[in-house]
């Protein structure tokens, strides 16, 4: 499990740990890990040009100490000091004594043009969102010369606790973060600005409280996946009722059912109009049409706007089994929910539910997912490149695996099916949503292998994703 903490939590843990170790130990651990990550990224240190962009805090200090280590391994290291009078004194002295130098103001462009790598030590967890004009000017040069950036702790300028990027910020190829992940490294748009995130253990673990954000890894999903045993039969494995599709949107029915059948359940019941029911059964003879006892419901995709479908949604929500509500069904979730409910809007649907602009939701994904979870007393899965799954209370889960190729028509219907199957298998809305998303994205990766796919391909690859996750889980825990 990847876990992320807030700046306040990190500061408290850092203070507790610092009281037990000699001065400078943590920065030394951070700089060592940072220098190693740079060497890995560059494939070596000897003869490469590394340019540090250092602000006035300890973040710049980390970069300068790492620069000293790289210089000792044969790199040519130079530093742009954004505020020379307040540059980290120890780090600067270390860099100089290892042979590094400070770039004069009129030579900055040449230094950027020459660099193989830029170390972003402008600001870390002590910073406010945004970059000051001088930092913007330097980072514009970095962008113009297309120099890859390794961000120190966080890409400077993002809102560390939310992942929001209301102001100019750094875009990194790699972010080397210390002690624990920061929320903004896991939640978009900050997560996209961070690139590949590498965590350096500096000993903070025992002092950290429960995280505010978590991200499941294959071994976590594998540990939670229901697997049948010799005593299992179709009813103990779970029956899912699917209320999806209409005469107008028949495909939604077929795709939601195909997603469900790729999950760990015993049977699917399809409830809907004759035409989608006929198509579902032609495609999947194992599906039973019509009402009956179920362990969970998926309602919503492709229902259209017919008023009688509102009753289907209301009936499912009034029942005593978990319910996933997707797409059109979300219009009919009126008051606070009771029981176990998973709502799966995309940004446009969530914006409509909360009566805000879609661009607001895109900019503040964590904020609005949490707000909706609180307002409807339900777990809210906000779809997107990094899906956010917010329960009414407790840590939010985000998904960091996947491929942009899954952004294709009907993909959300398949997602509702697999998440519903997991609900029917007895998992909580939080686990079902976050694991369903992981399996769906993994299926997308396996089906796509870098090329275009359609929603049916994702559904067809779900059993492979299941096997892949179990094998990866075994390997991770071995």
Ligand X SMILES: NC(=O)C1=CN([C@@H]2O[C@H](COP(=O)(O)OP(=O)(O)OC[C@H]3O[C@@H](n4cnc5c(N)ncnc54)[C@H](OP(=O)(O)O)[C@@H]3O)[C@@H](O)[C@H]2O)[C@@H](O)CC1
Query: Out of ligand X, K ion, none, which partner does residue 120 contact, by CB within 5 to 8 A per kind?
Result: K ion
Least gap, CB of 329 to ligand X (angstroms): 43
- Closer Cβ to K ion, 180 or 344, answer by number: 180
Q: How far is the CB of 210 from ligand X (least distance, A)?
A: 18
Residue 56 sits in the site that holds K ion (CB under 5 A): no
Longest CA span, the chain? 79
State in angstroms the smallest separation of the CB of 132 from ligand X.
5
Nearest to 1 by CA among 235, 223, 299, 292: 223
CB 453 within 8 A of CB 406: yes
Judged by beta carbon distances under 5 to 8 A according to partner kind, the member of ligand X, K ion, none in contact with residue 418 is none
Q: Which of 14, 49, 62, 120 binds K ion (CB under 5 A)?
A: 120
Report the partner that residue 83 touches, choosing among K ion, ligand X, none (CB closer than 5 to 8 A by kind): ligand X
Q: Is residue 60 marked as binding?
A: yes
271, 243 Cβ separation under 8 angstroms: yes
**Judged by CB under 5 A, which stretch of 1-9, 117-125, 219-227, 395-403 contacts K ion?**
117-125
**426 belongs to an annotated ligand binding site:** no
Work out the burial of residue 334: count CB atoms within 10 Å of its CB; fewer than 13 is exposed, 13-18 middle, 19 or more buried: exposed
How is the beta sheet containing 379-382 ordered, strand by strand? 181-182, 2-5, 213-215, 396-398, 388-390, 379-382, 341-344, 323-326, 296-299, 239-243, 267-270, 288-289
CB of 172 to K ion, least distance (A): 8
Count of residues of this chain found to bind K ion when the rule CB under 5 A is applied: 4
130 annotated as ligand-binding: yes
As a whole number of angstroms, the distance between CA 116 and CA 242 comes to: 54
Tell me: is residue 156 an annotated ligand-binding position. Answer: yes
Whether 413 has a binding-site annotation, put simply, is yes
> Any known ligand binding at 346?
yes
408 annotated binding-site participant: no
Residue closer to K ion, measured from CB, 50 or 151: 151
d(CA 134, CA 106): 13
Nearest residue (CB) to ligand X, 114 versus 132: 132
Q: Is 383 annotated as a binding residue?
A: yes
Query: 168 or 273: whose CB is closer to K ion?
Result: 168
Is residue 259 part of an annotated ligand binding site? no
Reference 390, options 356, 365, 421; nearest CA is 365
**379 φ, ψ (degrees, to nearest 5):** -80, 130
172 vs 324 by CB, closer to K ion: 172
Residue closer to K ion by CB (options 117, 324) is 117
**Cβ-defined contacts of 406-410 (< 8 Å, 24+):** 406/440, 406/441, 406/444, 406/448, 406/453, 406/458, 408/452, 408/453, 408/454, 408/455, 408/458, 409/454, 409/455, 410/251, 410/252, 410/255, 410/454, 410/455, 410/456
**Residues 67, 73, 76, 79: what is their CA dihedral angle, to the nearest 10 degrees?**
10
Q: 156-215: which residues touch K ion (CB under 5 A)?
A: 156
Q: In what order do the strands lie in the sheet with 76-81?
A: 101-102, 76-81, 49-54, 117-121, 149-152, 174-178, 196-200
Is 90 annotated to bind ligand? no
Q: Smallest distance, Å, CB 58 to ligand X?
A: 3
Smallest distance, Å, CB 157 to ligand X?
6
- Footprint of ligand X on this chain (CB under 6 A)? 10, 14, 26-27, 30, 55-59, 62, 83, 86, 122-128, 130-132, 135, 152-153, 178-179, 202, 204
Shorter beta-carbon distance to ligand X: residue 30 or 469: 30
Min. distance of Cβ 316 from ligand X in angstroms?
A: 47
| Binds K ion (CB under 5 A): choice among 30, 152, 271, 443 | 152
Going by C-beta distance under 8 Å and a sequence separation of 6 or more, which residues neighbour residue 303? 243, 244, 245, 246, 249, 252, 309, 312, 313, 327, 328, 329
Min dist. Cβ of residue 21 to ligand X (A): 11
Strands (E), 11-116: 49-54, 76-81, 101-102
Q: Residues forming the annotated binding site for K(+)? A: 59, 120, 156
Interface ranges with K ion (CB under 5 A): 120, 151-152, 156
Q: Residues forming the annotated binding site for AMP? A: 383-387, 412
Q: Residues forming the annotated binding site? A: 58-62, 120, 124-130, 153, 156, 252, 302, 346, 383-387, 412-413
């Amino acid at each position: 499990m990847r876990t992320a903490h807030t700046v306040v939590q990190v500061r408290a843990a850092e203070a507790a740990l610092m009281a037990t170790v000699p001065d400078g130990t943590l920065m030394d651990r951070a700089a060592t890990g940072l220098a190693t990550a740079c060497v890995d990224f560059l494939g070596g240190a000897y003869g490469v040009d590394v340019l540090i962009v250092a602000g006035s805090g300890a973040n710049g200090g980390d970069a300068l100490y790492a620069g000293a280590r790289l210089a000792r391994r044969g790199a040519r290291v130079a530093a742009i000091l954004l505020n020379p009078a307040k540059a980290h004194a120890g780090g600067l002295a270390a860099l100089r004594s290892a042979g590094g130098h400070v770039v004069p103001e009129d030579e900055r462009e040449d230094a950027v043009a020459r660099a193989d790598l830029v170390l972003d030590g402008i600001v870390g967890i002590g910073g406010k969102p945004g970059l000051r004009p001088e930092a913007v000017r330097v980072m514009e040069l970095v962008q113009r010369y297309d120099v890859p950036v390794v961000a120190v702790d966080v890409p400077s300028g993002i809102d560390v606790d939310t992942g929001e990027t209301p102001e100019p910020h750094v875009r990194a190829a790699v972010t080397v973060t210390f002690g624990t992940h920061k929320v903004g490294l896991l939640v978009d748009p900050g997560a996209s600005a961070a690139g590949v995130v590498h965590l350096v253990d500096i000993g903070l673990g025992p002092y950290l409280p429960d995280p505010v954000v978590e991200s499941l890894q294959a071994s976590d999903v594998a540990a939670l996946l229901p697997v049948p045993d010799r005593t299992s039969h179709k009813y103990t494995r779970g029956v899912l009722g699917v209320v999806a599709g209409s005469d107008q949107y028949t495909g939604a029915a077929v795709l939601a059912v195909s997603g469900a059948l790729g999950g760990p359940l015993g049977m699917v019941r399809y409830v809907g109009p004759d035409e989608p029911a006929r198509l579902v059964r032609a495609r999947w003879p194992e599906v039973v049409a019509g009402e009956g006892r179920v362990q969970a419901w998926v309602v919503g995709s492709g229902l259209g706007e017919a008023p009688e479908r509102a009753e289907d949604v209301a009936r499912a929500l009034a029942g005593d089994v978990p319910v996933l509500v997707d797409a059109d069904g979300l219009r009919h979730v009126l008051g606070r929910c009771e029981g176990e409910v998973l709502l799966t809007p995309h940004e446009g649907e969530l914006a409509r539910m909360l009566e805000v602009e879609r661009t607001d939701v895109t900019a503040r994904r964590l904020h609005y997912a949490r707000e909706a979870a609180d307002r409807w007393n339900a777990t809210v899965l906000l779809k997107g490149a990094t899906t956010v799954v917010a329960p009414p209370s407790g840590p939010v889960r985000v998904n960091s695996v996947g491929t942009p190729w899954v952004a294709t028509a009907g993909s959300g219907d398949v997602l509702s099916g697999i998440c519903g199957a997991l609900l029917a298998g007895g998992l909580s809305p939080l686990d079902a949503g976050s694991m369903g998303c992981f399996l769906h994205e993994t299926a997308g990766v396996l089906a796509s292998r870098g090329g275009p796919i359609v929603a049916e391909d994702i559904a067809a690859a779900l059993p492979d994703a299941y096997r892949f996750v179990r094998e990866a889980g075994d390997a991770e825990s071995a």
